[in-house]
Amino acid sequence: QKEVEQDPGPLSVPEGAIVSLNCTYSNSAFQYFMWYRQYSRKGPELLMYTYSSGNKEDGRFTAQVDKSSKYISLFIRDSQPSDSATYLCATLKETSYDKVIFGPGTSLSVIP
Amino acid sequence: NAGVTQTPKFRILKIGQSMTLQCTQDMNHNYMYWYRQDPGMGLKLIYYSVGAGITDKGEVPNGYNVSRSTTEDFPLRLELAAPSQTSVYFCASRPDMSAIQYFGAGTRLSVL
């Protein structure tokens, strides 16, 4: 079983839709959870960052972590064409700062 | 704000040739990473470094070498290039006691 799994998509939605992107992870020791956004032919950039369980909101984006089910979600409200990108979830053990584990990414297209 | 700079942006190699992918960061980060990204496969860690003079293997180190003589620079060396090394290579860095990584723009390498 992979440490972090993510539906690769592609996911295509109309502009204005609510988007839900999801990951599952296998190791209960993971404490830090991140979402990176990667535009085509660019490097990943951090979008959201949470520690342990709970929700975190930043504008149109909400990150949610459910440690009981080992489930990570990213919600995008009022999606825009500029949100079209690949979204990678990532996680890290609290006691090991060396290596971040990335999911394979979900490709999202927001159609005007 | 240069951040993480990678050179070259593109390169075509013939089988058996060697090259060095350059990575430099101006944020004084101790931790640096090299990843490769293949379509639909996410980011795979090749090598990482926790400080000048200290490097360690990641998930897919075979065919690559690294060195870290300064905090700023973390070059990746490909010896005897093979078609399986055709990929997009990303360098990243992060500060101590943080899970957030900062990525360069990537190097697209084709081995023919």
**A12-48 per-position pLDDT tens digit:** 999 999 999 999 999 888 888 999 999 999 999 999 9
Closest C-alpha among B28, B46, B43 to residue B93: B28
Instruction: Please determine, for residue A67, whether its predicted confidence score (pLDDT) is greater than 60.
Output: yes
Q: For residue B62, what pLDDT is reported? A: 96
Q: Which residues of B touch A98 (CB under 8 A)?
A: 31, 48, 50, 56
Top-confidence residue, A54 or A96: A54
- Please report, for residues A28, A96, B15, B63, the alpha-carbon distance to residue A93 in angstroms, rounded to integers and kept in the order given: 9, 5, 39, 28
* Parallel, antiparallel or unpaired: strands B10-13 and B107-111: parallel
- Kindly identify which residue of chain B lies nearest to residue A93, measuring between CA atoms: B99
Nearest to A88 among B31, B42, B56 (CB): B42
Q: Which of A72, A102, A106, A107 to mutate to test the interface with B (most CBs of B within 10 A)?
A: A102
Top-confidence residue, A14 or A94: A14
Tokens for B107, please give them: 């190097």
State the average pLDDT for chain B. 94
Identify whether the C-beta of residue B9 lies closer than 8 Å to the C-beta of residue B107: yes
Q: What are phi and psi of B83, to 5 degrees?
A: -55, -30
pLDDT digits (tens, 9 = 90+) for B27-67: 999 999 999 999 877 899 999 999 999 999 998 999 999 99
Residue where the block lists tokens 């020791």: A29
What residues in chain B have their Cβ under 8 A from chain A's Cβ atoms? 4, 31, 40-43, 45, 48, 50, 56, 58, 90, 92, 96-97, 99-106
Count CB pairs under 8 A between chains A and B: 48
Top-confidence residue, B2 or A23: A23
Instruction: Please determine, for residue A98, whether its predicted confidence score (pLDDT) is greater than 80.
Output: no
Q: Which residues of B touch A44 (CB under 8 A)?
A: 43, 90, 101, 103
- Please report, for residues A86, B10, B38, B92, B109, the alpha-carbon distance to residue B4 in angstroms, rounded to integers and kept in the order given: 20, 16, 21, 7, 18
Q: For residue A28, what pLDDT is reported? A: 87
CB A104 to CB B31 under 8 A? no
Q: Which of B36, B56, B101 to mutate to test the interface with A (most CBs of A within 10 A)?
A: B101
A111: number of Cβ within 10 Å: 11
Q: For residue B77, what pLDDT is reported? A: 97
Instruction: Please determine, for residue A96, whether its predicted confidence score (pLDDT) is greater than 60.
Output: no
Rounded CA separation A24/B78 (Å): 34
Tokens for B38, please give them: 């293949």
Q: Which residues of A touch B30 (CB under 8 A)?
A: none
Closest C-alpha among A111, A107, A112, A93 to residue A21: A107
Give the CA count within 13 Å in the CB-facing half-sphere of A85: 20
Q: For residue B51, what pLDDT is reported? A: 92
A81: left (phi over 0), alpha (psi -120 to 50) or beta: alpha
Q: For residue A35, what pLDDT is reported? A: 96
Instruction: Please determine, for residue A95, whether its predicted confidence score (pLDDT) is greater than 80.
Output: no
